[in-house]
Chain A
Amino acid sequence: MKKKNRRLENVLYELRHNKQAIFAATYLLVIILISIFIVFVNVDPDAIDVTNKLQGPSAAHWFGTDEMGRDYLARVLYGGRVSLLVGVLAMLTSIFLGVSIGMTAGYFGGLVDNILMRLVDIFSSIPWIIMVTVVGLLFKKGLFSIVIVIGLFSWMEIARLVRSEVLSSKEREYVQYAKFIGVNPFSIMIKHVLPAVFPTIITAATAIIASAIMTESSLSFLGLGVQQPMSSWGSLLQSSQQYLQKAPYMAILPGILIILTVYSFNKLGDVLRVFVEPKITAGEKSE
């Protein structure tokens, strides 16, 4: 008799043998730990030192200083707290909304589908930045209002994607069978339809993290996001544009961190797929 849980086994195998997954997990762990514990390190990201502005990397400032002479490394690491939080939370909000609305519309069809999809149309027809600005003004400024605002206005794409996937997967015979033997619709959706949609969701989710990080920066730019002197990867990237020639490192560091973060989430998403979709491992193990 084989071991009990083959799903978990597959995931652990994947984590142990897929180098990219190991890297992604390590990177995310490190960046999350740094984000949490950076407050205990005696560096002030907001300490202005105008005599040392826009200096390249040195022993004192590993990644140089910005236009106000603030230590760039400290700013980037502090910025990571904001960006990661915003990225992940906004992604979760938007996935939650998009998946539940898309699934309901696709699964039940008919009138429900019509109403929900018209709602999606309405939401996506309003110019995005206007909507975000208006809603942003209604909320108190702060991290969580950004999360909610981004989450509230990025779920439409996902709802459409999920709906179309559900439309095709609900016709599969195992879903029909579950319906036939009287399994309730909610558990059919969760147990049968959701796994089939999962790959799409993961791909979309990782893309949303990236776009949420960037959206947050445009919000900050408009004065609706995080306020100076607080930093985020997006806002750092934004402000570095002015100094691109003098201090290219200012764009490179947050840029690289954003890329690596998105990449890592994507890779971990793939590992998660192994759990839901056992077939993927079969191919990779035989390599």
Chain B
Amino acid sequence: MSQQVLISAQDLKKYFPVKGFLGGKTKYLKAVDGVTLDIMKGETFGLVGESGCGKSTLGRTLIRMYDVTGGKLSYQGKDITNAKPSEMKEFRNKMQIIFQDPYSALNPFWNVEEILSEPLAQIGMGAGERKERIEYLLNKVGMKPDDMLKFPYEFSGGQRQRIGIARALSVNPEFVMCDEPIAALDVSIQAQVVNMLEDLQHEMGLTYLFAAHDLSMVRYISTRIGVMYLGNLVEVAKSDNLYDRPLHPYTQALLSAIPIADPRAAKTRKRIKLQGELPSPMDVPQGCRFAPRCPYATEQCKTQRPELRELESDHFVACHYAEKFAD
């Protein structure tokens, strides 16, 4: 695999303004707060973390679905941090998104042909060509050309997700942000969809950002994995490396929550239970974001924010005491 950087983010920030009551001081919800990340061409970058940690926001900011609040963002070396909509035009067919909820992702008033035509018409494809392309796409995702005239309510969740995938792939993108594409599906369908995504990746040379909270599924599909906590990456490593040698206490806690099929092994395993709740992203702790819930937190953790550093080759972690956990 070529190690060419496709998307690069430096200290990327995305804040949402939250208006105070009666014109009070505007606060900011720091959904993504200083993420530094490189996504390589052809890889699948898994993004895990609990609900509300900013996975979706990060993904959507990376493809410039949202405006960037701060930091730098570039696509294949081109700076797109503050690109205007007109400048984003050339990237429209390079970056695409698959949504989590297949029900709200498709316009219920349109039939499949109309839905899939939208991005194609946007890149200026003629009507005849579009029809051919749509038939091809439906075939690709395992549906029949007859389905073209059906409306979304006539499909199951899995089928709708396939339509969503077909829509994302319609313009031959290079990068696809998969925003928890399997979270709303049945377990049996999840595997189908994930396998299909993998096949399509090999066939079309796609790069994925795969956000999910199903840890085993992420391990299965991802080349590298980033663990997010409260708007920031706390650990980034090769998929197997991360699962075998988690260095951040938060990652360790997350992994210890994966159920094991063998009851005997499960009994002997140390289960790390986290205390407390995820702090509000409007009121982020001063030091290490994880410090209030970390079992190993010290005074230093509460005052000084740890940076993401490369502890071992290709294994980044943001913790003052990561060396201790390495052994």
A residues with a Cβ closer than 8 A to B are 1-2, 4, 6, 172-174, 176-183, 191-192, 195-196, 276-279, 282
Known contacts A181-B92, A181-B122; A196 and B97 CB within 8 A of each other: no
18 A/B residue pairs, CB under 8 Å, sorted by A: A1-B146, A2-B146, A4-B149, A6-B151, A172-B104, A173-B99, A173-B104, A174-B105, A174-B106, A177-B97, A179-B65, A183-B122, A195-B107, A276-B109, A277-B109, A278-B111, A278-B153, A282-B153
Query: Which B residues lie within 8 Å of A181 (CB)?
Result: 92, 118-119, 122
Within 124-166 of B, Cβ neighbours of A (below 8 Å) are at 146, 149, 151, 153-154
Report the bound CA distance from A173 to B106 in whole Å: 7
Q: Which of B63, B92, B151 has the most CB of A within 10 A?
A: B151
Known contacts A177-B99, A196-B109; A278 and B146 CB within 8 A of each other: no
Known contacts A180-B97, A181-B118, A282-B154; A173 and B105 CB within 8 A of each other: yes
Whether the Cβ atoms of B89 and A279 lie closer than 8 Å is: no
Whether the Cβ atoms of A195 and B146 lie closer than 8 Å is: no
Interchain nearest-CB distance for A177 vs B (Å): 7
Interface size range on B against A? 20 to 34
Report if B77 contacts A (CB, 8 A).
Answer: no
Report the bound CA distance from A251 to B88 in whole Å: 65
Report the bound CA distance from A173 to B167 in whole Å: 13
Report if B38 contacts A (CB, 8 A).
Answer: no
Known contacts A182-B88, A182-B89, A279-B153; A176 and B65 CB within 8 A of each other: yes
Report the bound CA distance from A278 to B153 in whole Å: 9
Known contacts A177-B99, A182-B85, A277-B109; A6 and B104 CB within 8 A of each other: no
Q: Which 9 pairs between the two chains have the least Cβ-Cβ distance?
A: A195-B109, A174-B107, A173-B105, A278-B151, A279-B153, A173-B104, A180-B65, A173-B99, A172-B104
Query: Which A residues lie within 8 Å of B108 (CB)?
Result: 277-279
Query: Which B residues lie within 8 Å of A1 (CB)?
Result: 146
Known contacts A173-B99, A176-B65; A183 and B118 CB within 8 A of each other: yes
Whether the Cβ atoms of A178 and B111 lie closer than 8 Å is: no
Chain B residue, CB-CB nearest to A172: B104
Report the bound CA distance from A195 to B89 in whole Å: 27
Report if B198 contacts A (CB, 8 A).
Answer: no
Query: Which B residues lie within 8 Å of A182 (CB)?
Result: 85, 88-89, 92, 122
Interchain nearest-CB distance for A219 vs B (Å): 38
Query: Which B residues lie within 8 Å of A183 (CB)?
Result: 118, 122
Query: Which A residues lie within 8 Å of B107 (CB)?
Result: 174, 191-192, 195
Whether the Cβ atoms of A177 and B109 lie closer than 8 Å is: no
Report if B101 contacts A (CB, 8 A).
Answer: yes
Interchain nearest-CB distance for B197 vs A (Å): 18
Query: Which A residues lie within 8 Å of B118 (CB)?
Result: 178, 181, 183
Within 83-110 of B, Cβ neighbours of A (below 8 Å) are at 85, 88-89, 92, 97, 99, 101, 104-109
Whether the Cβ atoms of A174 and B104 lie closer than 8 Å is: yes
Chain A residue, CB-CB nearest to B63: A180
Report the bound CA distance from A279 to B154 in whole Å: 9
Chain B residue, CB-CB nearest to A277: B109
Chain A residue, CB-CB nearest to B109: A195
Interchain nearest-CB distance for A126 vs B (Å): 26
Known contacts A173-B104, A181-B119; A278 and B99 CB within 8 A of each other: no
Report the bound CA distance from A180 to B226 in whole Å: 25
Since A6-B111, A176-B65, A180-B65 are in contact, a sample of 11 more A-B pairs with Cβ atoms closer than 8 Å, ordered by chain A residue number, is A173-B99, A174-B104, A174-B115, A177-B99, A178-B118, A182-B122, A191-B107, A195-B109, A276-B109, A279-B153, A282-B153
Q: Which of B88, B106, B108 has the most CB of A within 10 A?
A: B108
Query: Which B residues lie within 8 Å of A180 (CB)?
Result: 63, 65, 97
Interchain nearest-CB distance for A120 vs B (Å): 21
Q: Which of B101, B118, B146, B154 has the most CB of A within 10 A?
A: B118
Report the bound CA distance from A277 to B105 in whole Å: 16
Interchain nearest-CB distance for A197 vs B (Å): 11
Query: Which A residues lie within 8 Å of B89 (CB)?
Result: 182
Query: Which B residues lie within 8 Å of A179 (CB)?
Result: 65
Interchain nearest-CB distance for B89 vs A (Å): 6
Query: Which B residues lie within 8 Å of A6 (CB)?
Result: 111, 149, 151
Query: Which B residues lie within 8 Å of A4 (CB)?
Result: 149
Interchain nearest-CB distance for A285 vs B (Å): 12
